[in-house]
Amino acid sequence: MYRPADYHDRSSPMSDSIAYRLPGSSAIVSASGTFSLLENGRTPVGFVVSDFLHQRVFQFTETSEAFTDFHTQQQQPVVISKRDYQIEAGAMLNAFPVMQVEKAVYSRVKSSTFPIGKARQLFNELEQTYPNAFVYLVSSAEFGTWVGATPEVLVDVKATSLETVALAGTHPVNDTSEWTAKEHEEHRFVVDAVEEALIRTGCKVIEKDGPHAVSAGPVQHLKTYFTAQTGTASAWNIAMDLHPTPAVCGTPRMAALDLIVSREMHDRFLYAGVIGICGKTESKLFVNLRCAQLQNTKAFLYVGGGYTIDSIPDLEWEETENKARTLLNCMEKL
């Protein structure tokens, strides 16, 4: 089973901090304060971030403390070579029939030289470059410093109106070729899982529109839009049921998760977790993709690709390289 990392290092006297900008907005929110671990079963209020399987959910509380410096973690994630990636991905594919997995998302970590002192500049570059992404920079003794520009909405709820998306299938942004059967199948898994979760949580009047090809920086994705009316379930409870979707885990969920844990050599930490704003009447929560952990002079970028039985590891490697360009293109400008 997936085991969350031991992030905690509250020996540091420094305050925690957040900066974020919602999709389509020009307003940047910045604050200093404290991230605290949410008790099991509690619903967060305000800014929230979780690890991959939301076994640890961190809620931010603003204080009057002034920001001093970015937090770093001692433990560095495992970075594997292309050859090791090919071996592990091949072994994972061989296990599909045995474990009855239809899709699994295999991720890796890519390292790049980048000084943490430029974290705020990177955030500014990302929010200017990707106006339709949720762009953030968070720093805490609980989990270190992370930055990202994610294109994936988990839930957007206003009163009883809910919007969400199925986002899966990837091309380079300038690729004009037809979407393959494998890519459409990968997308369909997510569409089906989202629809089933909305029904399961009591949502009504569920409508979908798609798939459409949409750009997300250096790549494009297949995207299906969902709208629904919520029932008695809160936005947070719906998000917890939806996540992790096949877009970041696989299907069937538990079998795919077991397979991922057996093959991935790194802890996903906050990658593919939940991040955003949770409120009583309005919530905007996202899947934490296109993100990196910053440690002193290095950035560790977390990138993944959706595997079905017909996937080719070399092509999936190239897909992760393209996804890494979302952040690397901005890093290289600074």
Asked whether residue 3 carries a pLDDT value surpassing 80, the answer given is no
Quick one: average pLDDT of 58-66?
A: 91
Domain 16-331 adopts which CATH fold?
Anthranilate synthase (3.60.120)
Helix (H) or strand (E) holding 327: helix 313-331
- pLDDT, tens digit, for every residue of 94-106? 999 999 999 999 9
Largest CA distance in the chain: 55
Task: Indicate the domain borders of the chain.
Answer: 16-331
- pLDDT, tens digit, for every residue of 7-59? 555 455 689 999 999 999 999 999 999 999 999 889 999 999 999 999 999 99
Q: Burial, 31: exposed, middle or buried (Cβ in 10 Å; 0-12, 13-18, 19+)?
A: middle
- pLDDT, tens digit, for every residue of 225-263? 999 999 899 999 999 999 999 999 999 999 999 999 999
Q: Burial, 81: exposed, middle or buried (Cβ in 10 Å; 0-12, 13-18, 19+)?
A: exposed
Q: 7, 69, 66, 72: which is closest to 33 by C-alpha? A: 66
